[in-house]
Amino acid sequence: MSKVKVFVSSVQQELENERVASAELISTDPFLSRHCEAVLFERLPASTLPAQKAYLTELDSSDVYIGIIGLEYGPTGPDGLSAMHREYLRAEKHQMPMIIFVKGQAGRDKDRNQKMQELFARVRDSKTGHTYRRFSNYQDLKQSIRDALLPILKNRGLTPSIAEQTEFVQTLSAASDFDTQLLKQEDITDLDPDLTRQYVTAVLNIPPKNQAIIQRTLLSRGLLWYDEKHQRHRPTAAGLLLFGKTPDAVFPQIRIAANAYGGAEKGEPIDRRNIHKPLPGAIQEAIDFLIRNMRHTQAVRGFARVELNEYPYEALREALINAVAHRDYGIRGAGIRVEKYADRIMIFSPGLPPPPLTLAKLRSLKYLPCSRNPNIARGLSFFERIEEQGDGLRRMVMATKNMGLSAPEFSITDGHFTVVFKGPSKSLAKLRAEKAQPIFAVKPALVDLLTPNQKMIMRGLLKNGEVKVPKIAAQLKVTDQAVRKDMAKLQKMRLVEKRGAARATYYVLNEQQVTP
């Protein structure tokens, strides 16, 4: 039996998180993922059809319509309708099952765009409208979508097993209510305007024109809320942690204690930092701390000199993102710890994996992603450009193995989820350099023009920095005159420079010609 195609319709930018949550539910729920497929227009493959026709064609082949109503109506086309309104009418025409969800309680309805209010009035019409349900956060929406889809699937003879139902409940309960807390003492002036603008620019793909756009974007993504009593915009816990000027003043547990030790055991730190910035800056400062305290060397790979680092930056970044995004912020007396030793790096994140995740599942890398703090995780994704939510452990393992290191070890230590990166057992020069940063690289087009002897000369320069004619002649078993001819050609190609005079003559790379 083919999967039930569930078309998710809403204003894309305003309700992006809700769209992601809907698709995430359908793709990760053990029962729904076997029988349903979420259809979001922005995830469809490129089409030769005009955008409007493409998404309506996709809707025509879908089985269920889910409409999510927010505050905004969305851009209108030549017909005066938004994409969501057009999709709603198309689904209604096909008489397909329609499930409508409305964000916010009845008191917020007056804040909706006028045209959205008109559409909502049509939905609520007692004679021709449809049943709708209200929701306030991701977890409400996920539960409501699943509750609405189960009867549709039951009519097809499909029901979840006891195990599938249990796993769904556990996955849903994994998310805490920490990051949705409505803070009542802070307001929008406690947020860093540069960070909020950077975030909104990443969300909208264009810089916001005014403060109202910034506020609306943060409101729609659960990072801000409006205090009607005091008529102020205030941050949620997630908003303060992501953008707050001094987030540790409210949540001291967000601090990251970073220590570097000279040996393989704890002693007096050779470097230490107490990091208490908003989360995007905290991650970067922790990365900078580790980079500053790890070993670096250079090696020649082909016709390039590259920098080799003791650990892959991308794996460390993934570990730190996971630590700040998925830790248990309810443990107020514990912060994240980063420890750099001579032979390893250890990152401790307060809290155990939330059910249904287990240490065994995480170690096997066979797990369905779930987040304890979804608003924080999705907020960070716009700063860190995470391509796939919930896949950080796999990327950590891949990055370390690709570099020739052991896979990181995952364990539980005194109530902390712990990641241990083992350092190279041999010289750094033995590490693989697939993603090593090139310091100098001879352009491939020029390499193709070189003779074998000239290539040997260039490798020698990359390795040693300078060469002399007699030594090269002895290595190549040719005359000094032959080497000078090769050097003349390399000079003409602007690959090398001649230094010194007479017997003190030597040659070095022309650093203006090679590409950093």
**What are the tens digits of pLDDT across the range 259-293?**
999 999 999 999 999 999 999 999 999 999 999 99
- Last residue within a domain, chosen from 398, 430, 462: 430
Residues 343 and 279 in one domain: yes
| 514 is a domain residue | no
Residues 25 and 57 in one domain: yes
Q: How far apart are CA 115 and CA 72, in angstroms?
A: 9
| 85 is a domain residue | yes
Calculate the CA dihedral of residues 40, 42, 47, 49 and round it to 10 degrees.
80
| 418 is a domain residue | yes
The neighbour count for residue 260, using CB atoms within 10 Å, is: 20
Residues 61 and 143 in one domain: yes
Q: How many domains does the chain have?
A: 4
| Amino acid 390: pLDDT | 59
CATH number of domain containing 337: 3.30.565.60
pTM over 0.75: no
Residues 404 and 260 in one domain: yes
Residues 346 and 425 in one domain: yes
Residues 258 and 241 in one domain: no
| Amino acid 465: pLDDT | 81
pLDDT reading at 315 higher than 50: yes
| Amino acid 186: pLDDT | 94
Mean pLDDT value across the chain: 87
Residues 244 and 291 in one domain: no
Residues 156 and 79 in one domain: yes
| Amino acid 219: pLDDT | 82
Residues 73 and 126 in one domain: yes
Determine what percent of the chain is predicted with pLDDT higher than 70: 93
pLDDT, tens digit, for every residue of 91-116? 999 999 999 999 988 887 888 889 99
Instruction: Name the pairing type of β-strands 296-301 and 271-275.
Output: unpaired
Q: What is the largest CA-CA distance in the chain?
A: 101
| 183 is a domain residue | no
Instruction: Print the domain residue range for 110.
Output: 4-173
pLDDT, tens digit, for every residue of 491-516? 999 888 999 888 888 998 887 655 54
Residues 12 and 121 in one domain: yes
Residues 41 and 132 in one domain: yes
pLDDT reading at 47 higher than 60: no
| Amino acid 437: pLDDT | 65
Residues 246 and 263 in one domain: no
| 160 is a domain residue | yes
Q: How far apart are CA 142 and CA 406, in angstroms?
A: 38
pLDDT, tens digit, for every residue of 296-313? 887 777 777 777 889 999
| 22 is a domain residue | yes
Q: How far apart are CA 450 and CA 458, in angstroms?
A: 9
